[in-house]
């Protein structure tokens, strides 16, 4: 992996600047590697918001909405890994230069105006989620269109169209998740141009919706919206509903959405809590931070191993190991949120998502 493709590079900007006729197999492999990193980058901030909700059962609507987005993003990452292996590439996931850095920008220079950080669920963090998922021209809003992650996926889609002969079906990982998490969330083999195109369609629709509707056609809950609008309606405090008299047929005029009671997780400093003298953790907290970071790092290594495995039956074991680490991360994160920061702010610690090399 060259430094030009590192997390804090401008690789996506450079890739998008190449003329369409030059977007060959090498372009596609580099773009898909960046897409893997992009999908991974969204998960830690969303998970911190999810885990900070004190009573998931009592605040079911908000908790379930964010959890659904998280599950979508996990499946998106898996589908992109399948796209990369089907053309002969290998996803790089567990590498110090490639893992997300917080606070910081999204990978590859995409949406440089968005600053991504780790904290509990607040209006500010919800606004950040919206900025990450923002479509080029959102329904029910009246701002100038802007660049979106969807534009990057449209470029990948076009590159697959002109390089369809590269699709060979190598090392495809399968996992049925539709029953538990909704339409489009299964990892399926991407062995044909149509299968790849359908997978990209799922990723784009779940994240941004269409140009005319915020609905998510690949839903797990009835009435589920695309990610941007799910976050936006929580921030607005009202459901986004169809209103025939509204200019675009939709408005934030539905039932109220109440912000849940949350642990007041502070914003993790660059490099972790120990980098700030006022946040210096005691031995117990540091042990819990290290435990979480180890789980996260093992998760990434098992995921990388999953897509390096030669065939589907053999991939089930490392994928199972990755899922096992993921299930342990939530309780470990909430344990950290029981500890207040030593600065007297009343805010708490939370997971750092720091990668520890093996």
Q: What are the pLDDT digits (tens) for 305-315? A: 999 986 777 78
If one looks up domain 3-262 in CATH, what number appears? 1.20.1260.10
The pLDDT tens digits for 29-65 are 999 999 999 999 999 999 999 999 999 988 889 999 9
Q: Which residue has the tokens 């060959």?
A: 24
The pLDDT tens digits for 170-213 are 999 998 877 666 666 789 999 999 999 999 999 988 876 555 57
Q: In b/e form, how buried is each residue of 250-263, taking b as 16+ CB within 10 angstroms?
A: bbbebeebeebebb
For 198, counting Cβ atoms within 10 Å of its Cβ (0-12 exposed, 13-18 middle, 19+ buried), the class is middle
In the chain, where the domains are located? 3-262
pLDDT of residue 146: 42
Backbone φ and ψ of 240, nearest 5°: -85, 120
Do residues 133 and 113 make contact, with C-beta atoms less than 8 angstroms apart? Answer: no
The pLDDT tens digits for 230-260 are 999 999 999 999 999 988 889 999 999 999 9
pLDDT of residue 143: 45
- E strand or H helix at 31: helix 25-51
Residue 262 DSSP code: B
- CA dihedral (50, 56, 58, 63) in degrees, to 10, reads 40
CA distances from 115 to 41, 229, 281, 285 (A): 12, 20, 25, 27
Helices H / strands E in the chain, number of each = 10, 2
- Model confidence, pTM: 0.93
pLDDT of residue 118: 98
Do residues 62 and 53 make contact, with C-beta atoms less than 8 angstroms apart? Answer: yes
Do residues 71 and 206 make contact, with C-beta atoms less than 8 angstroms apart? Answer: no
Confidence check: pLDDT of 141 > 80 = no
CA dist 42 and 7 (Å) reads: 13
Return the axis-axis angle of helices 25-51 and 312-336, rounded to nearest 10°: 40
Do residues 53 and 25 make contact, with C-beta atoms less than 8 angstroms apart? Answer: no
CA dist 193 and 205 (Å) reads: 18
* Confidence band of 3 (pLDDT split at 50, 70, 90): confident
């Amino acid at each position: 992996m060259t430094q030009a493709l590192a997390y804090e590079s401008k690789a996506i900007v450079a890739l998008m600047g190449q003329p369409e006729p030059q977007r060959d197999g090498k372009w596609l492999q580099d773009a898909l590697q960046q897409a893997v990193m992009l999908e991974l980058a969204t998960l830690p901030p969303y998970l911190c918001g999810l885990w900070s909700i004190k009573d998931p059962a009592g605040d079911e609507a908000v908790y379930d909405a964010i959890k659904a987005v998280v599950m979508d993003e996990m499946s998106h990452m898996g589908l992109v890994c399948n796209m990369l292996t089907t053309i002969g590439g290998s996803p790089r996931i567990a590498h110090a230069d490639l893992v997300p850095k917080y606070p910081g920008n999204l990978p590859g220079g995409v949406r440089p105006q968005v600053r991504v950080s780790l904290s509990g669920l607040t209006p500010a963090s919800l606004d950040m989620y919206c900025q990450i998922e923002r479509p080029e021209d959102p329904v029910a809003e009246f701002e100038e269109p802007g660049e979106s992650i969807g534009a990057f996926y449209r470029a990948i889609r076009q590159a697959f169209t002109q390089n369809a002969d590269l699709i060979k079906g190598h090392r495809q990982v399968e996992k049925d998740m539709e029953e538990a998490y909704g339409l489009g969330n299964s990892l399926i083999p991407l062995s044909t141009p149509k299968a790849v195109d359908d997978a990209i369609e799922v990723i784009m629709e779940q994240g941004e919706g269409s140009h005319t509707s915020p609905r998510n056609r690949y839903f797990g809950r009835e009435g589920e919206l695309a990610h941007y609008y799910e976050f936006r309606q929580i921030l607005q405090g009202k459901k986004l509903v169809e209103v025939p008299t509204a200019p675009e047929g939709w408005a934030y005029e539905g039932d109220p959405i109440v912000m849940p009671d949350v642990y007041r997780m502070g914003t993790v400093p660059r490099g972790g809590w120990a980098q700030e003298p006022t946040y210096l953790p005691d031995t117990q907290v540091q042990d819990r931070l290290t435990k979480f970071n180890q789980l996260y790092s093992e998760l990434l290594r098992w995921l990388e191993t999953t897509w390096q495995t030669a065939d589907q039956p053999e991939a089930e074991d490392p994928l199972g190991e990755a899922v096992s680490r993921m299930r342990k991360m939530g309780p470990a994160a909430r344990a950290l949120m029981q500890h207040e920061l030593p600065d007297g702010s009343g805010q708490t610690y939370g997971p750092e998502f720091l990668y520890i090399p093996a």
